Amino acid sequence: MKQYIWNDLSRERRNELLARPVPADDANLASRVAGIIDRIRRDGDAALLALTEEIDGVALSALEVTEAEFDEATRRLSETQRRAIRQAAANIEAFHAAQLPAQLRVDTAPGVRCERLSRPIERVGLYVPAGSAPLPSTALMLGVPAELAQCPTRIMCSPVQADGRVDAAVLFAARVSGIGRVFKLGGAQAVAAMAYGTETVPKVDKVFGPGNIWVTEAKSQVDRDPYGAARDYPAGPSEVLVIADEHARPDFIAADLLSQAEHGGDSQVLLLTTSEAQANAVREQVELQKASLSRLAIIDEALGHSSIIVVEDLKTALELSNLYAPEHLILQLANARRWLPEVRAAGSVFLGAWAPESVGDYCSGTNHVLPTAGYARSYSSLGVADFLRSMTVQELTREGLQGIGPVAETLAMLEGLDAHAQAVRARLAAIDEDAAP
């Protein structure tokens, strides 16, 4: 990792260091994804089977995971592995259950009652990637809140492996989180299948889950189509920003940076520290620790566009963090909670020496489906609310309409909408008639 002194940098260089890696330009990506979507809308299951063979190199006889395959997946995992998945699911459920909204009912004026009600999205599709590594944790992060929201239809897609099966841990996590139907589909074709439906795959109303640029582009395209499906939010490569003072342990910091760098070559990891000695120690630890890691080539690629930046004080570090708006923010600081009020834009925050980013990825209970690429400035981490719709209700008595009806009538006429005014005026006149002797 390269090291910089923030105050020595030009404005242009500062902007470069806080810029995300630019993905390889594929001018044909949108049209190629559109072609896949059109093919699936036209040919349904036949297109899905053909694309799975063309792209994944696997010839399937059926798209849906069978009950026997679920059972086999359970047997393939050790009791320790099954217990870990169940414990993670329990923690995720505990945190997300607390997010279920209470019914809101307010009398805004005498005789005027307003309510806000929540209803589950009827049909949701969950996408679990399995590119360079299967992600059973993502199955939990999507499946548990969908179950808590009580979405009636909950399906999942995950890419097929070379042996024609979906990863065993992903299937077990799906079962633990209440997902009964899983399909052996990956990439843009999975998104298209869920968005439009086929003979086998049910159509959904909203698609959730991270993925590569093909998945992201497909989610964008079906979201724009009124006949498609909404998406959760835009996403990009994973990232972490660590803020550390001179008291932090450099081996802990390096481990956190490396854990995020191994996600992919397009990931980015940043360290902001007030101590040049700390920066030097972390660089040494990164070199020392990465040598023993299995995904070294991926890590080195990610570190190529990652940086260690020495800043003059923690106030500057927090300002830069808010500007960057990281997916993951780790505060390796003495009395880290003291600085939490200064955090305004981050997907998920980890306080202190004993909160590695890994626990958020797996089992602390918070959700690891987070806004990336600076979207933390305007988007939140995934939660139960994303699987719910809200609607408002108003109920008025005669007296209630008498009280606020003239207000509505006046505002309608200010806007030149006399039919709106008439809808109120007619009722007020009827009340006056009933009251006449």
Place of tokens 């481990």: 255
Question: Which residue type, as a one-letter code, is found at position 224?
Answer: R
Q: Please tell me the predicted confidence (pLDDT) of residue 55.
A: 92
CA–CA separation, 341 and 315 (whole Å): 12
Question: In this structure, what token pair is assigned to residue 321?
Answer: 């963090």
Neighbours of 341 (CB within 10 A): 8
For 72-124, the pLDDT digits (tens) are 999 999 999 999 999 999 999 999 999 999 999 999 999 999 999 999 999 99
Q: Please tell me the predicted confidence (pLDDT) of residue 3.
A: 95
Closest CA to 146 of 171, 122, 117, 170: 122
pLDDT in tens for each of the 437 residues of the chain?
Answer: 899 999 999 999 999 999 998 776 677 899 999 999 999 999 999 999 999 999 999 999 999 999 999 999 999 999 999 999 999 999 999 999 999 999 999 999 999 999 999 999 999 999 999 876 789 999 999 999 999 999 999 999 999 999 999 999 999 999 999 998 999 999 999 999 999 999 999 999 999 999 888 999 999 999 999 999 999 988 788 999 999 999 999 999 999 999 999 998 999 999 999 999 999 999 999 999 999 999 999 999 999 999 999 999 999 999 999 999 999 999 999 999 999 999 999 999 999 999 999 999 999 999 999 999 999 999 999 999 999 999 999 999 999 999 999 999 999 999 999 999 999 999 999 998 887 77
The four Cα atoms 259, 260, 266, 271 give a dihedral, to 10 degrees, of -110
List CB contacts of 163: < 8 A, sequence separation 6 or more.
Answer: none
C-beta of residue 159 within 8 angstroms of C-beta of residue 185? yes
Catalytic residue positions, numbered: 327-328
CA–CA separation, 206 and 341 (whole Å): 33
Instruction: Characterise 43 by phi-psi region: left (phi > 0), alpha (psi -120 to 50), beta (else).
Output: alpha
Chain-centroid distance of CA 379 in Å reads 9
DSSP string, 253-302: HHHHHHHHHTT-TT-EEEEEES-HHHHHHHHHHHHHHHTT-TTHHHHHHH
27, with CB counted inside 10 A (0-12, 13-18, 19+), is exposed
DSSP state of 64: B
List CB contacts of 24: < 8 A, sequence separation 6 or more.
Answer: none
Q: Is 268 helix (H, G, I), strand (E, B) or coil?
A: strand
Question: Which residue type, as a one-letter code, is found at position 49?
Answer: L
What's the CATH class of domain 29-232?
A: alpha beta
Question: In this structure, what token pair is assigned to residue 31?
Answer: 């049209």
Question: Which residue type, as a one-letter code, is found at position 211?
Answer: G
Question: In this structure, what token pair is assigned to residue 71?
Answer: 């059972």
List CB contacts of 96: < 8 A, sequence separation 6 or more.
Answer: 144, 145, 148, 365, 367, 383, 384
Q: Please tell me the predicted confidence (pLDDT) of residue 24.
A: 65
Q: Please tell me the predicted confidence (pLDDT) of residue 411.
A: 98
DSSP state of 123: E
CA–CA separation, 132 and 264 (whole Å): 8
DSSP state of 20: P
Neighbours of 118 (CB within 10 A): 17
Place of tokens 């724009």: 224
Where do the DSSP E strands lie in 1-97?
2-5
Question: In this structure, what token pair is assigned to residue 235?
Answer: 């996403």
Q: Please tell me the predicted confidence (pLDDT) of residue 25.
A: 62
Judging by DSSP bridges, how do beta strands 328-332 and 239-244 pair with one another? parallel
Task: Give first-to-last CA distance, the chain, whole Å.
Answer: 88
- Backbone phi, then psi, for 378, in 5-degree steps? -135, -5
Q: Please tell me the predicted confidence (pLDDT) of residue 140.
A: 98
CA–CA separation, 222 and 233 (whole Å): 12
Closest CA to 17 of 270, 283, 278: 270
Closest CA to 124 of 66, 50, 205: 205
Q: Please tell me the predicted confidence (pLDDT) of residue 97.
A: 98
Question: Which residue type, as a one-letter code, is found at position 232?
Answer: D
Beta bridge partners of 273: 244, 310
Fold of 2-23+237-365: Rossmann fold (3.40.50)
Neighbours of 293 (CB within 10 A): 13
Q: Please tell me the predicted confidence (pLDDT) of residue 134.
A: 86
User: Where are the domain boundaries for CATH 3.40.50.1980 in the chain?
Assistant: 2-23+237-365, 29-232
